[in-house]
């Protein structure tokens, strides 16, 4: 504890700018005569807490406007102002104005975390030792505190007034703290050596002077980034029918670049299914993949079968879009049209077409209508006489297949049966052709759907037209049922 002694002085030596904290010790009632100080008295001390030098001067000056907070009485906590008389013989109390708690105009706390004051009559700031009006206190304590790294340290200045009762005094605290920290703002980008120049502002602690701020600081250098603009592209799929293909990107340029957005597709020359070479998605020459053909409003896919030949992937009348839905030999999505042998796709082949019992006269190959002709006279033909020259090759009369395709011969059916090891409707469906059991159409309607698959061939003789038959456990070709019967057609490429 630093004990302060009174001594005489001719001049105070402190200007208003130097005053950082003013704490008033006041009486409570008006008209009290000041005692204990004359115009030449002052008390001062200097102490240091963790490098913070503090000077405390206790004095009473003429015409000082002092203020504090009243803590006793009916208006406890009210702010009020005190003015010391010019002749230092007394003071007057101004109006109590809640919400104002200033010390002296322009004076602020600087470089001190806490200043505690204890007086005989009023508690101005913190502290718990209070003495009411009219009581005598021989010692007044001023506590100066500073918090360093979370630890608060303090020094107490004790003023001994020799039993003084009514006093008015001021405590002035000045600081000579050296600045030790600043807010730094970069003034250049981070350099390759990991440093950058900075400007310093907002020195701390508040009110400090001097000190040497840094002019550079460390930083993380990030080399300039070059965005990639070109890549080497490698196709990852065959050229599609729309003239595009997916690609993978590698070897980004320029060297050392990062980022950028490579293409995922590129344009290409779409192969045709008639250029005489295997390309694109084809599994054979101009066959398979995306190669399609169309006729009579239906689009057909193509497939390279086990015999090495190109066939339509579905029966006539079944669009290629239905192919993913055909999951078994008796799936109705795989059932197509049922043709009378030798007739064109004139509408009679549609399973729901109307019927007629009028057979065609000799020499007539086109009925000129879309009706299914019944076997009225049991001649097993829709003509009065057979014409085995129908359906012969791609240019054959009434060929119902798309351009470039025709009905397979008996030999071609046998070849694919052997190559695909067809032994019944399950094994026939599990081949690349996915043959279904469409049944067949006779006078009474469609029979054996899902139980038998009968497919026309182009091999014909008088009263003999070869059919590919598929049953539950057998498959083969033979002459069965005549041209008047409606059967399925699967075309082969010529």
Write down the pLDDT at residue 129. 33
pLDDT score of 89 more than 70: no
- Give the pLDDT band (50/70/90) at residue 466: very high
Long-range contacts of 280-285 (CB under 8 A, 24+ apart): 280/238, 280/239, 280/240, 280/241, 281/237, 281/238, 281/240, 284/308, 284/310, 285/310
Element (H, E) at 461: strand 453-461
Q: Examine residue 285 and state whether it is found in any structural domain, yes or no.
A: no
- Positive/negative CA dihedral, 351, 291, 236, 267: negative
Q: How many domains is the chain built from? A: 4
In this structure, the answer to whether residues 340 and 360 fall within a common structural domain is yes
Write down the pLDDT at residue 165. 28
Q: Examine residue 224 and state whether it is found in any structural domain, yes or no.
A: no
- Please give the share of the chain, as a percent, with pLDDT higher than 70: 64
Q: Examine residue 227 and state whether it is found in any structural domain, yes or no.
A: no
- Give the pLDDT band (50/70/90) at residue 331: very high
Q: Examine residue 129 and state whether it is found in any structural domain, yes or no.
A: yes
Per-residue pLDDT tens digits for 237-250: 878 778 899 999 99
Per-residue pLDDT tens digits for 337-365: 999 999 999 999 999 999 998 888 778 89
In this structure, the answer to whether residues 411 and 309 fall within a common structural domain is yes
Task: Compute the distance between CA of residue 415 and CA of residue 433 in angstroms, rounded to an integer.
Answer: 13
- Give the pLDDT band (50/70/90) at residue 146: low
Write down the pLDDT at residue 206. 76
In this structure, the answer to whether residues 340 and 457 fall within a common structural domain is yes
Write down the pLDDT at residue 40. 34
Q: Which of 160, 175, 190 is the last residue of a domain?
A: 175
In this structure, the answer to whether residues 323 and 338 fall within a common structural domain is yes
Write down the pLDDT at residue 88. 34
Per-residue pLDDT tens digits for 357-411: 888 877 889 999 999 999 876 778 888 888 999 999 999 999 999 999 999 999 9
pLDDT score of 234 more than 80: yes
In this structure, the answer to whether residues 149 and 213 fall within a common structural domain is no
Task: Compute the distance between CA of residue 463 and CA of residue 460 in angstroms, rounded to an integer.
Answer: 8
Residue in 171, 172, 160, 174 with CA at minimum distance from that of residue 48: 174
DSSP three-state, residue 322: helix
Q: Examine residue 280 and state whether it is found in any structural domain, yes or no.
A: no
In this structure, the answer to whether residues 123 and 61 fall within a common structural domain is yes
pLDDT score of 171 more than 60: no
Task: Compute the distance between CA of residue 449 and CA of residue 436 in angstroms, rounded to an integer.
Answer: 9
Domain that holds residue 329: 292-493
pLDDT score of 476 more than 80: yes
Element (H, E) at 226: none
Please list, residue by residue across 414-430, b when 16 or more beta carbons sit within 10 angstroms of its beta carbon and e when fewer do: bbbbeebebbebebbbe
Cα–Cα separations (whole angstroms), residue 437 to 338, 351, 477: 12, 14, 15
In this structure, the answer to whether residues 471 and 331 fall within a common structural domain is yes
Tokens 């469906």 locate to 429
Element (H, E) at 152: strand 151-160
- Give the pLDDT band (50/70/90) at residue 423: very high
390 contacts 397 by C-beta, under 8 angstroms: yes
Q: Kindly state the average pLDDT of the residues 466-484.
A: 94
In this structure, the answer to whether residues 397 and 469 fall within a common structural domain is yes
In this structure, the answer to whether residues 138 and 203 fall within a common structural domain is no
More confident residue, 279 or 128: 279
In this structure, the answer to whether residues 238 and 367 fall within a common structural domain is no
- Give the pLDDT band (50/70/90) at residue 256: confident
pTM summary value:
0.50
Q: Examine residue 286 and state whether it is found in any structural domain, yes or no.
A: no
Q: Examine residue 228 and state whether it is found in any structural domain, yes or no.
A: no
In this structure, the answer to whether residues 75 and 185 fall within a common structural domain is no
Work out the mean pLDDT of the chain and round it to a whole number: 72
Q: Examine residue 209 and state whether it is found in any structural domain, yes or no.
A: yes
pLDDT score of 456 more than 70: yes
pLDDT score of 78 more than 50: no
Per-residue pLDDT tens digits for 16-43: 222 223 333 322 222 222 223 233 333 3
In this structure, the answer to whether residues 342 and 258 fall within a common structural domain is no
Write down the pLDDT at residue 150. 59
């Amino acid at each position: 504890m630093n004990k302060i002694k009174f001594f005489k002085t001719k001049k105070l030596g402190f200007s208003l700018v130097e005053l950082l904290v003013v704490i008033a010790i006041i009486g409570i009632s008006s008209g009290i005569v000041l005692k204990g100080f004359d115009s030449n008295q002052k008390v001062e001390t200097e102490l240091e807490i963790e490098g913070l030098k503090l000077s405390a001067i206790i004095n009473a000056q003429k015409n000082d406007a002092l203020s504090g907070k009243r803590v006793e009485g009916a208006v406890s906590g009210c702010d009020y102002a005190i003015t010391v008389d010019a002749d230092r013989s007394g003071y007057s109390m101004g109006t109590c104005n809640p919400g104002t708690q200033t010390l002296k105009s322009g004076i602020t706390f600087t470089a001190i975390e806490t200043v505690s004051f204890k007086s005989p009559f009023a508690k101005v700031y913190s502290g718990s030792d209070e003495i009411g009006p009219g009581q005598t206190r021989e010692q007044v304590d001023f506590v100066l505190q500073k918090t360093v790294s979370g630890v608060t340290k303090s020094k107490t200045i004790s003023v001994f007034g020799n039993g003084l009762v009514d006093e008015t005094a001021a405590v002035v605290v000045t600081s000579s703290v050296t600045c030790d920290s600043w807010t730094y703002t970069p003034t250049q980008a981070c350099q390759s050596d990991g440093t950058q120049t900075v400007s310093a502002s907002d020195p701390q602690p508040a009110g400090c002077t001097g000190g040497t701020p840094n002019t550079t600081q460390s930083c993380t250098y990030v080399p300039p980034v070059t965005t990639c603009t070109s890549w080497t592209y490698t196709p990852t799929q065959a050229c599609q029918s729309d003239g595009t293909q997916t690609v993978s990107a590698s070897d980004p340029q320029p060297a050392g670049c990062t980022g950028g957005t490579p293409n995922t597709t590129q344009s290409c020359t779409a192969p045709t299914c008639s250029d005489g070479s295997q390309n694109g998605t084809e599994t054979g020459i101009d066959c398979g993949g995306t190669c399609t053909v169309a006729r009579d409003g239906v689009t057909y896919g193509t497939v390279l079968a086990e015999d090495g030949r190109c066939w339509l992937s579905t029966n006539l009348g079944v669009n290629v879009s239905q192919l993913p839905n055909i999951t078994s030999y008796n799936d109705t999505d795989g059932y197509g049209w049922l043709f009378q042998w030798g007739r064109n796709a004139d509408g009679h082949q549609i399973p729901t077409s109307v019927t007629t019992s009028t057979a065609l006269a000799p020499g007539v190959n086109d009925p000129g209508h879309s009706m299914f002709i019944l076997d009225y006279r049991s001649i097993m033909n829709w003509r009065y006489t057979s014409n085995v020259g129908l359906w012969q090759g791609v240019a054959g009369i009434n060929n119902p297949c798309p351009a470039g395709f025709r009905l397979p011969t008996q030999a071609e059916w046998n070849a694919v049966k052997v190559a695909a090891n067809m032994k019944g409707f399950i094994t026939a469906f599990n081949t690349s052709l996915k043959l279904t059991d469409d049944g067949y159409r006779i006078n009474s309607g469609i029979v054996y759907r899902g139980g038998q698959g009968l497919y026309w061939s182009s091999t014909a003789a008088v009263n003999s037209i070869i059919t590919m038959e598929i049953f539950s456990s057998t498959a083969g070709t033979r002459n069965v049922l005549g041209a008047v019967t409606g059967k399925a057609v699967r075309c082969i490429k010529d």
